[in-house]
Every structure is written in structure tokens, then in C-alpha cells.
Structure 1
Amino acid sequence: MIDLDPQDVKILELLQQDASRSTNEIAEKLNMSQSPCWRRINRLQQDGLITNTVALVNREAIGMDLVAFTTINLSQAGRKNMENFEAAVIQLDEVMECYTMTGAWDYMLKVVVKDIRQYEIFVRNQLLAKVPNIGEIHSHMAVTEIKNSTKLPLKSQLEKSS
């Protein structure tokens, strides 16, 4: 774990809000000069805290209206079966997130598609046909999105390390 000082946290928060901000703009917001600000950002990148700079696409604006949380149990346990499943799931564009789980399910996937029909096609033609060792699938459709954030709670992390 990398220790962050308050300036690092402020830089990361600004970049999480809008990564297209220039170094000069960030430096001005933090009342620091551009060169030290650039060095801090560069260090945060080199240390692996900033891994990618991306554009977030509004899924609803392009007609991707269905979010499904899909829970999966493998038909057989074992390291090789897990590795095979995970390697196959990584290749599926519709799967936005995949987690191993404790409790009743082996995995939980966040799947984003156009509609329920496309989800059915995805499950039948992609998930079941191309992903090995699936024993059980349960689908949970999101009805209303209350919060969807990519911002990590950095201030709480800073408070814990103090």
C-alpha cells in the first residue's frame, strides 16, 4: 500500500472527476506550481495508483439499458476449473465486472446489454456455449440505478492512515 499525502489525494480526486484536466488546471486548483504537480501525477502513475485514463460512455445514451447481476456456481470445484472459467469470462465484452464470492455463489458478474432479449442471447450463446464448467446461473436484473460511481473514497483512506 502506498501512503498518500493530502495533496496526492486532492490530485487523485480531481482526476477521478475529470481526467482530461490539464496539469496546469490541477496545479491552479491546488495552489501549486505546474512542475511539482506534474511530478506528483507522474509518480502516482509510476507507482500504479493511476492505471488508465479513459472516457466513460453513457450506456443509456447508446441504448445499453439492461444491467444484470449474474451469479454463477461452477459444476466442479478446483483451481484449473476456476482458471478456465476466469480466462473465458475475461474475453466476454458484455461482462463489465467479475468477482469471486464468498457464500452461496462462486462468481458474480455485472453484465450490460441492450435489453432482456440480448441478455438471453448472451447467456445462451456466449456464457453457456463458451465458458466451461458452469453448473448454475441465476440472473438478477437491475430495475433502478441509484448510484453508479467510478470514484474511490480517497478521503476516508487518508483518514484511516492518520
Structure 2
Amino acid sequence: MTQSLDNIDRKILQLLQRDANLSATELADRVGLSQSPCWRRINRLQEEGYIKNRVALLDRQKLGLSIVVFVNIKLSAHGWNMLNEFEAAIVSFPEVLECWTISGGMDYTLRVVTKDIESYEQFLRRRLLQLPHIQEAQSNITMTEVKNTTQLPLDDL
């Protein structure tokens, strides 16, 4: 899919992932285009799915969400219905920001955010561990955030 991206497309994407509030005029100035061709490129990038959404990134610390936990989940069975049931439940939990299927000894990794350890424990006991077919859950509570970005490495495309 990246074969149809030229250098200007990549520059537009790079700028937008840093600041989605940039106008088409500002983007056009920064990539060396006039406003109309730049606007058309942005629309094409959206239509082709390169730009999925434009969102506001919130500061979880300022909002009082100070705990980030990576939870590795192992299911007791792996039938199609069980996987779908588990995944549907996970999608419904607002505390779970990400859910990945993984290879190795565990089946899923979740990134969970809560306000404090007590809140995480309540989430774990009352919601997550109440799901059927969970054999094991390993919680890894984070300490220091070294890097957290949403910017994809576009230079090598």
C-alpha cells in the first residue's frame, strides 16, 4: 500500500501525526504546494485509509489516570467462540486502551489505565477475572514512562 505514497504524501502524514490541527494552508506551505492540491492529497490519504481518524491526545496524568498496567492473559481454551467472546468483552472495557493477540506462552497483552492501584485491583477482580476461560493473568505495573508516542516512523517507507 505504501507504494502510492510519494515524498509529499509522507511529509503531509508526518506533519499531521505531529499536529492534526494544521490547516490545509499551513500544510501546503510546509510541503511546498498550493492549498488546493494539498487539500486533495489530504482527502485522498483519508479515502485510502492512511489517515484513520483525527483525535485529541489527552494527558492521562492531568486527568488523574496515573497507573498503566500491561496484563498478559492466557485462556484455558481457544475455540473460535471463546476467543470472540473474550475479545468482545475486552472491547467493552474503557480501562483497556489496547489489546493484542500475541505468540508465545500467553494469548493476549492488554494495556490498562486506571487512576490508582486500588482501581486497577477492582477492575481486575470485578471485571477482567470474571470473564470465562481466563486461565492466567499476569499484571506488569509500569513505573517510569520513558517514551510514549503515536507517531509512526515514516522516513523509511
Give the TM-score normalised by the residue count of structure 1: 0.94
How far apart, in 2, do the equivalents of 1:56 and 1:127 lie? Answer: 26
Q: Counterpart of 1:67 in structure 2: which amino acid? A: V
How far apart, in 1, do the equivalents of 2:123 and 2:24 lie? Answer: 42
The number of aligned residues is: 156
Q: How much has 1:32 moved relative to structure 2? A: 0.8
In the other structure, the counterpart of 1:127 is 128
How far apart, in 1, do the equivalents of 2:109 and 2:116 lie? Answer: 19
For structure 2, the 5+ residue unaligned runs are: none
Question: Could you list the runs of 4 or more consecutive aligned residues of structure 1 that deviate by over 6 angstroms after TM superposition?
Answer: none
Q: How well do the aligned residues superpose, as a CA RMSD in angstroms?
A: 0.8
Q: Counterpart of 2:25 in structure 1: which amino acid? A: N
Q: Counterpart of 1:140 in structure 2: which amino acid? A: N
Matches within 5 A, 1:47-86: 47-86=48-87
SS class of match (1:57): coil
Q: What whole-Å deviation, never above 9, does each CA across 1:15-65 have from its counterpart, x for those lacking one?
A: 000001100000011111000000000000000111110000000011100
Q: What whole-Å deviation, never above 9, does each CA across 1:99-141 have from its counterpart, x for those lacking one?
A: 0010011000000110110000000111122x33111100001
Give the TM-score normalised by the residue count of structure 2: 0.97
In the other structure, the counterpart of 1:137 is 137
SS class of match (2:84): helix
For structure 1, the 5+ residue unaligned runs are: none
Q: How much has 1:2 moved relative to structure 2? A: 3.6
How far apart, in 1, do the equivalents of 2:105 and 2:95 lie? Answer: 23
How far apart, in 1, do the equivalents of 2:17 and 2:147 lie? Answer: 16
1:155 lines up with 2:151 in the alignment: no
Q: Counterpart of 2:147 in structure 1: which amino acid? A: K
How far apart, in 1, do the equivalents of 2:105 and 2:55 lie? Answer: 34
How far apart, in 1, do the equivalents of 2:127 and 2:56 lie? Answer: 26
Q: Counterpart of 1:142 in structure 2: which amino acid? A: T
In the other structure, the counterpart of 1:10 is 11
